Every structure is written in structure tokens, then in C-alpha cells.
Amino acid sequence: MTRSRGRVGPLATPGHRAPDLAVDALLDDRRTGIIVCCGSGGVGKTTASAALALRAAERGRKVVVLTIDPARRLAQSMGIEALDNTPRPVRGVDTANGGSLDAMMLDMKRTFDEVVESQATPEKAKQILENPFYIALSSSFAGTQEYMAMEKLGQIHRDAQRDGSYDLIVVDTPPSRSALDFLDAPERLSSFLDGKFIRLLLAPARGPAKLMSAGFGLMTNALTKILGTQVLRDMQTFVAAFDTLFGGFRQRAQKTFELLQADGTAFLVIAAPEPDALREAAYFVERLSEDRMPLHGLVVNRASPRPQGSMSADEAMAAATRLRKQDPDSLTAGLLRLHADQTRMVEREALLRDRFAAAHPEVPTAVVPALAGDVHDLEGLRRVGELLAEG
């Protein structure tokens, strides 16, 4: 029998500590032109974007923040509760360092309409805007919001390049079902435009189709059976009217994609210290590097604050049990149990972060402790900005 040699020391390599994310250095670097905040829903992405934008502005940058769906009170305090799809100056920003802050909330349908209006002749635009298929597509196409956020980013960037109105654009991304939808949006649009199906729908409008194979007949029959003739007709009209705009759309989508890959862009992945959010974050990190997008770091938001006492959770629970035996209503026992609970939360979160760091050791990370209340004014955003910078 062979005996394996006993191992000495812990099996796991200890201390997977991610490098610190230097937020202020990123904001102060004049070469940073675009910051994209991405992550799954409910992790405080909108608040983080607004806080970064405010901090950059107060440190002297000319900033515009493009948000998707801010909490009502936060939107009010930033003066963007009216949806007019144009950046508006935020009041109450400290401009002593020469910076400024504008904010806008994305109106997806309006952005889409504006693109159509700017690309087509008035009659054609009217025809498209009134088509039932367009109306449904522009307000609920899976991915429209993502695509329009990128479209708006491209627009603002082009304008800013021309007139120098902004030197930093902070973008909040929509809380997508798949957090990556916005990266896919240009491609998905292209595949929609290039799709065989679209070509087939267009075929009748382009004269007698050579494609009238048996398979095609089968397909149109099936579609008519399921959708009814009226839907097919609407789709054909829409596609025919939209056909001329396709090229422009795709070109700009491609430009925006390239803009995102450029050096001036920094992606920040926002997560909460929860398994699901961190799994999404990991997926994001991998996807960004696959697409050669400049990932700058990870922000772990809403972390449980570390308890001050150095007593372990087990010790605290044991002591609490001893006290409860003597006095079931003991206040001190309650305090010890709270301490144990808090310590367990913090330990679990730290473990989750360590595992993330073990898998992605190169990603600089900032940990932002959860505030007791919600953030709904500039003061709150400033506080979050400070915490981000302390990371």
C-alpha cells in the first residue's frame, strides 16, 4: 500500500484579492470619454452611473449622463423627470472646478422616431411611423431599448465631438433579460435586416420573385394560417417602407460598436454581492473581453457593512445562547445575535468576491457598502461617489 504524503497547511490558495479599482484616476483621465455601466437589474446601476457622473463633474469634467429608468425621486432631483430625450443641466452641481453635469432619460420610442424622421422623406417617414408593425416594433421589440441607448450614445458623442459640449459621457444600460443584449443589438438588427425572411417579404415588392419554391409556398401558407393575412400584409408594407433606411441604421450601429471598443471607453460592471448578480458579472466580464471591449473594473455595490467587533459569528451565537438561558429577553443576547448575523453576511459576501477574483484575478474591484436609506438627491449621490472612490 502506498501512502500519500500528508499535506501541510490549507488546501486552497489563500488571498485571491482583486486589485483596487481607482475610480478617481479613471474620472480625472482626460482620455476617458465614455463610461458604460452594465450589470443585471436591481444592483444599483442607475445610482452608480449618476454618482460617477456627478463626481466627475465636480472634479472638473464636462459630463452628460444618459440614464434608462431612474427612480422617480432621483429623476426629480436631477431635473429629468420630463421625458424629452434631450440632455438637461442638473441644478445644484458644484462647478468650482470648471465642470458641468447634464442628464437625460432615454425615451426609446422617441429616439427611434427621430432616427426614422432624420433618414426618410417626410411622406415616407409618416408612412413608417403610422404602420402598426412599426409602432409595436419601436415600443416593444426585444432589444429596441438596448439598441436605442447605443443610438443615442452615438448621437451625443457625434454632437459633443463637433461642438465640444461634453468631454465625458456616462451611460447606464437597460436591465436586460440578458445583460448583454445591448452588445448584441447592432448584430441582431443586422441579422433582422439581412434575414432571408425579410428578403422574402420584400420579394413581392421588388417584382416577380424567383424564389417561389415549394418551400416558400409552404411557408407563406403556414404563416397565413397562424398570423392571418392582415399581419403579413402589414409586415410587408413596413419592411418595404423601411428597406431604404436599413443601410444607415446598420452603418451607425457598427460605428457605435467601434466607438465602444476604442481606447476612450471604459466599461464598469456593476454587481451586488449575491451569487446571481456575480454570475451575471462574470458572464459580462468574459463577454466584454471576447468582444475586445475595454473592461475597466468591477463595482460590488450594496455590500453589507463590516461589523466593528472582531468576535466571530460562532462565538457570538454561543454567548447569546448562554445569556438567553438565563434571561430569554436579554438585550445583550439580541445584540450578539445581530452581530453574528451581520458577520455571517459579510463572510459570505467576501467568499463570493474571493471566488470571483479567483476566476478573474485581473479585474480591478471596488466594494461599496450599502447605505441605510435610498439615494434620491445630489447629497446621496455625492456620498455614493465618495464610497466608490474609497472602494
Residue 19 in contact with other proteins, rule: CB under 8 A: no
Residue 322 in contact with other proteins, rule: CB under 8 A: yes
Comparing CB distances to other proteins, the nearer of 158 and 383 is: 383
According to CB under 8 A, which residues from 259 to 298 bind other proteins?
272, 274-277
Residue 49 in contact with other proteins, rule: CB under 8 A: no
Using the rule CB under 8 A, which residue among 55, 61, 353, 376 binds other proteins?
376
Using the rule CB under 8 A, which residue among 205, 212, 219, 262 binds other proteins?
219
Q: The cell 450599502 sits on which residue? A: 370
CA-based nearest residue to 370, from 48, 65, 66: 48
Comparing CB distances to other proteins, the nearer of 70 and 297 is: 70
Residue 208 in contact with other proteins, rule: CB under 8 A: no
Please name the residue ranges forming H helices in the chain: 23-28, 45-58, 72-78, 108-119, 122-130, 132-140, 144-163, 181-194, 196-202, 214-227, 229-242, 246-261, 275-290, 313-326, 331-359, 378-390
**Alpha-carbon distance 94 to 78, whole Å?**
13
Residue 319 in contact with other proteins, rule: CB under 8 A: yes
Residue 210 in contact with other proteins, rule: CB under 8 A: no
- DSSP assignment, residue 390? H
Using the rule CB under 8 A, which residue among 30, 91, 177, 206 binds other proteins?
177
369 Cβ partners below 8 Å, 6+ apart? 302, 303, 304, 305, 306, 387
Question: Residues 177-214, buried b or exposed e (16+ Cβ, 10 A)?
Answer: ebbbbbbbbbebbeebbeeeebebbebeeeeeeeeeee
Using the rule CB under 8 A, which residue among 33, 87, 99, 175 binds other proteins?
175
- Least separation in angstroms between residue 177's CB and other proteins is 5
List Cα–Cα distances, 365 to 14, 194, 319, in angstroms: 18, 40, 36
Give me the phi and psi of 62, to 5 degrees please. -95, 105
Residue 128 in contact with other proteins, rule: CB under 8 A: no
Residue 29 in contact with other proteins, rule: CB under 8 A: no
Q: Which residues partner with 34 through β-bridges?
A: 169, 265
Whether 125 and 85 have beta carbons less than 8 Å apart is answered as no
Residue 178 in contact with other proteins, rule: CB under 8 A: yes
Residue 54 in contact with other proteins, rule: CB under 8 A: no
Total residues contacting other proteins by CB under 8 A comes to 82
Residue 222 in contact with other proteins, rule: CB under 8 A: yes
According to CB under 8 A, which residues from 133 to 162 bind other proteins?
133, 135-137, 139-143
**Alpha-carbon distance 42 to 271, whole Å?**
9
**Alpha-carbon distance 151 to 180, whole Å?**
16
Residue 81 in contact with other proteins, rule: CB under 8 A: no
**What is the total residue count of the chain?**
391
From 157-165, 174-182, 290-298, 354-362, span contacting other proteins (CB under 8 A): 174-182
From 54-62, 120-128, 217-225, 258-266, span contacting other proteins (CB under 8 A): 217-225
Residue 328 in contact with other proteins, rule: CB under 8 A: no
- Give the helix/strand (H/E) hosting 300: strand 295-303
Residue 229 in contact with other proteins, rule: CB under 8 A: yes
Whether 298 and 21 have beta carbons less than 8 Å apart is answered as yes
From 13-21, 87-95, 156-164, 214-222, span contacting other proteins (CB under 8 A): 214-222
From 115-123, 148-156, 334-342, 382-390, span contacting other proteins (CB under 8 A): 334-342
Comparing CB distances to other proteins, the nearer of 158 and 344 is: 344
Residue 248 in contact with other proteins, rule: CB under 8 A: no
Using the rule CB under 8 A, which residue among 76, 236, 289, 330 binds other proteins?
330
